[in-house]
Amino acid sequence: MNSYLLLAYGVMWLIIFAYIFSIDLRHIKLRKELSRIRTILDKYDMPVKKKPIIR
């Protein structure tokens, strides 16, 4: 197979997967932050108007 064709499709798939991976990483970071805040809220019994859900 032509090396330019391989390079083009390789780079494009790399970008797509890197972006999906970056969204996933940001989700994981947010979940960690949320569980940290929840621990504080539960520990000190702080009232909260809306409990967030990470979809």
Partner 1 sequence: MVLLRKIHGSLTLLTMMGALYAIFVIAPRELTMGIVQKIFYFHVSAAWIGFFGIYVVFFCSLIFLIKGGRQWDIRAASAAEVGVIFFTLNLVSGPIWAKPVWGIWWTWDARLTTSFILWLIYLGYLMIRRLVENPEQRARLSAVVSILGSIDAPIVYMANRWWRTQHPQPVVAGDSNSGLHPDMQVALLLTLLAFTMLFFYLWKTRINLERAREDVDILQQTVQYHIKEAR
Single-letter amino acid code for the residue at 17? F
Residues written for the chain:
55
Q: Please list every residue from 3 through 42 that binds partner 1, using CB under 8 A.
A: 4-5, 7-9, 11-12, 15-16, 19-20, 23, 26-27, 30, 33-34, 37, 40-41
How near is the Cβ of 36 to partner 1 at its closest, in Å?
A: 10
Place of tokens 């972006």: 19
Strands (E) across the chain are located at none
Residues near partner 1 (CB under 8 A) are 1-2, 4-5, 7-9, 11-12, 15-16, 19-20, 23, 26-27, 30, 33-34, 37, 40-41, 44, 46, 48-50, 52-55
